[in-house]
Chain A
Amino acid sequence: MARMELSSLAKRYGQVEVLREIDLTIEDGEFVVLVGPSGCGKSTLLRMIAGLEPISGGELRIDGRRVNETAPRDRDIAMVFQSYALYPHMDVARNMGFSLEIRGKPETERRPRVAAAASTLSLEPLLARLPKALSGGQRQRVAMGRAIVRQPRAFLFDEPLSNLDAALRVDMRLEIARLHKRLAATMIYVTHDQVEAMTLADRIVVLNGGDVQQVGSPLDLYDRPANRFVAQFIGSPTMNILPVTLDDRGLPRLANGAAVPLEGLAPEGVAGRIAEIGLRPEHLVPGAAEGALVSGTADLVEHLGSDTNVYVRTEDYGTLVLRVHGHHPVRSGDALHLHARPGAVHAFDRDGLALPRRSR
Chain B
Amino acid sequence: MKIAITPDQLIFTEGTRLFPSETSFGNFAKVITQTDFLAYFGNSLIVSLGTAGVTTLIAAGAGYAFSRFDFAGKRVLVGIMLVTQMFPLLMVIAPIYKMVAALGMLNSLTSLIVVYTAFNIPFATFLMQSFFDGIPRDLEEAAMIDGCTRFQALRRIIVPLTLPGLGATLGFVFTAAWSELLFALMLINSNDAMTFPVGLLTFVSKFSVDWGQMMAAGVLALVPSCLFFIFIQRYLVQGLTSGAVKG
Contact = CB atoms under 8 A, between A and B. Distances in A.
B105 interface: no
A103 B146 CA distance: 9
Contacts of A130: 243
A87 B143 contact: yes
Contact of A150 (B141, B146, B149): B146
Interface residues of A, number: 31
Given A88-B161, A150-B146, A163 B138 contact: no
A150 to B, nearest CB: 7
A102 interface: yes
Nearest to A98: B146
B244 A85 contact: yes
A222 interface: no
B246 A139 contact: yes
Contacts of A150: 146
Given A52-B141, A85-B138, A87-B139, A102 B147 contact: yes
A155 B161 CA distance: 27
B142 A81 contact: yes
A52 B144 contact: yes
A11 to B, nearest CB: 16
Contacts of B149: 71, 73
Interface string B127-144: 000000000101101111
B205 interface: no
Contact of A139 (B152, B156, B157, B243): B243
A103 B142 contact: no
A232 B141 CA distance: 35
A136 B141 contact: no
B245 interface: yes
A132 B139 contact: no
A83 B146 contact: no
Interface in B24-59: none
A88 B134 CA distance: 13
A206 interface: no
A146 B143 CA distance: 11
A58 interface: no
B99 interface: no
A81 B243 CA distance: 14
A133 interface: yes
Interface string B172-211: 0000000000000000000000000000000000000000
A83 B242 CA distance: 12
Query: What is the size category of the interface that chain B forms with chain A?
Result: 20 to 34
Interface in A70-128: 71-73, 77-79, 81, 83-89, 98-99, 102-103
Contacts of B138: 81, 83, 85
Of residues B141, B145, B246, which shows the largest number of chain A Cβ atoms within 10 Å of its Cβ?
Answer: B145
B246 A78 contact: no
A201 interface: no
Contacts of A71: 144, 149
A133 B239 CA distance: 12
Nearest to B142: A85
A41 interface: no
Contacts of A72: 141, 144-145
Interface string B145-169: 1111100100011001100000000
A353 to B, nearest CB: 39
B146 A102 contact: yes
A163 B247 contact: yes
B173 to A, nearest CB: 25
Nearest to B138: A85
Nearest to B160: A89
A219 B92 CA distance: 74
Contacts of B143: 87, 98, 102
Contacts of B147: 73, 99, 102-103
Contact of B244 (A79, A88, A103): A88
Given A73-B148, A102-B148, A102-B156, A132 B239 contact: yes
A130 B161 CA distance: 14
B94 interface: no
Interface in B204-224: none
A133 B242 CA distance: 9
B89 interface: no
B146 A132 contact: no
Contacts of A78: 145
17 contacts: A51-B145, A52-B141, A73-B146, A81-B245, A83-B244, A84-B244, A85-B244, A86-B244, A87-B157, A87-B244, A99-B146, A102-B146, A132-B239, A132-B242, A132-B243, A134-B243, A163-B247
- In the A-B complex, the 5 residue pairs with the smallest Cβ-Cβ separation, listed nearest first, are A132-B243, A83-B245, A131-B243, A85-B138, A85-B142
Interface of B: 136, 138-139, 141-149, 152, 156-157, 160-161, 239-247
